Amino acid sequence: MNPSALSLDHEAGRAVTISAGGAVLFRYVYAPGTQPGESPRPYAHPVNSLAGDRLSGFRPNDHPWHQGLSLTVTNLSGVNFWGGPTYRREDSYRWRNDHGEQRHREWLELSPARLRHTLAWHATATGEVMLDETRELLVSAAAGSWSLEWASRLVNVTGRTLEFGDPDTAGLPGSHYTGLQFRGARALLDDHGDAAIRLCSEGANEGEKAVHGAPGRWMEWHVQSDETLRRTLIRFENPSAPIRWFVRRAYPLAAFSLNREPGLTLPAGGAIDLRHRLTFADVP
């Protein structure tokens, strides 16, 4: 399979679906209409293997704000672009009137191999635009696998310095779930005693405890789908530099954490560039 086999279906004002050889790879919903407390943002769901297995999860009952593949910031100068309750050192997790929303502005390119658009990151309570984003999704397919490269340029348009935080930087160690998120289908990493179902990362790290928080340029999930029993290898990559991976196995979640201790700041007019890659390979 090659990029010429890719095709695009545009549901104007709502979503774009990318397929390869007639098989749906993912549906990118850029006008989601989700609840304010879930920090509405564009997401990709379903995300499928080439063989047709659904790999992503959407609004699971444990965390309804986990929505396929999406870009989040857990705490941007007091605004929650992740969804759900917000953690603070003084009173732990609470539902607060502090959520944000990412709104699609315009398409710059709509083609099967490249989706490029602009977005505005709003603080819902005040309406203030905090970030302008240019986002690009690059799609490629080959025999037995396909890849999605996610690139985002975030520009601070507030006129003041912004702070990027998360529960880890607020005093809850290991809770650095911020940045690009992938929520997997619930049973992907249920190993039922099968050692081939596992997660690992650069540096010979094996298992959740070893991978979680360890710096590396890549992490892999070796998974199996219910019903079809087919296996898929999901590879997460941050090619430019090692990052601290966030991973959960019981409710499959991977995050490309963008924070560094004690946190990341962005001056007025400053920009952050993110570039990540996910590859979904069918396992014979």
Asked if residue 46 has a cis previous peptide bond (ω within 30° of 0), the answer is: yes
What value does the mean pLDDT take over residues 197-219?
A: 97
The answer, yes or no, to whether residue 2 has pLDDT greater than 90, is no
Q: Token pair for residue 195? A: 């050692």
> Cα–Cα distance between 89 and 93 in angstroms, integer?
9
The answer, yes or no, to whether residue 159 has pLDDT greater than 90, is yes
Altogether, the residues listed in the chain come to a count of 284
Q: What is the 3-state secondary structure (H, E, C) of 147-162?
A: EEEEEEEEEECCCCCE
What value does the mean pLDDT take over residues 248-271?
A: 90
Exposed, middle or buried by CB within 10 Å (0-12, 13-18, 19+), for 269? exposed
Distance of CA 159 to the CA centre of its chain: 27
CB atoms within 10 A of CB 232: 21
Q: Token pair for residue 44? A: 């990709």
Tens of pLDDT, residue by residue over 84-95, are: 999 999 999 999
- pLDDT band with cut points at 50, 70 and 90 for residue 262: low
> Cα–Cα distance between 53 and 56 in angstroms, integer?
9
Separation of first and last alpha carbons in the chain: 16
What value does the mean pLDDT take over residues 131-157?
A: 97
Q: What is the 3-state secondary structure (H, E, C) of 112-173?
A: CCEEEEEEEEEECCCCCEEEEEEEEEEEEEECCEEEEEEEEEEEECCCCCEEEECCCCCCCC
Query: How confident is the model at residue 184, as a pLDDT?
Result: 98
Query: How confident is the model at residue 1, as a pLDDT?
Result: 45
What value does the mean pLDDT take over residues 216-237?
A: 97
What value does the mean pLDDT take over residues 248-277?
A: 91
The answer, yes or no, to whether residue 259 has pLDDT greater than 80, is no
Query: How confident is the model at residue 260, as a pLDDT?
Result: 62
Tens of pLDDT, residue by residue over 53-85, are: 999 999 999 999 999 999 999 999 999 999 999
What value does the mean pLDDT take over residues 168-179?
A: 93
What value does the mean pLDDT take over residues 44-59?
A: 98
The answer, yes or no, to whether residue 226 has pLDDT greater than 90, is yes
Spatial neighbors of 222 by CB under 8 A, at least 6 apart, are 196, 197, 198, 199, 200, 231, 233, 283
Exposed, middle or buried by CB within 10 Å (0-12, 13-18, 19+), for 95? exposed
DSSP 8-state secondary structure symbol assigned to residue 185: P
- pLDDT band with cut points at 50, 70 and 90 for residue 3: very low
When the pLDDT of each residue in the chain is averaged and rounded to a whole number, the result is 95
> Cα–Cα distance between 277 and 271 in angstroms, integer?
20
Domain 3-283 has CATH 1.25.40: no
What value does the mean pLDDT take over residues 240-262?
A: 90
- Where are the chain's structural domains? 3-283
- pLDDT band with cut points at 50, 70 and 90 for residue 172: very high
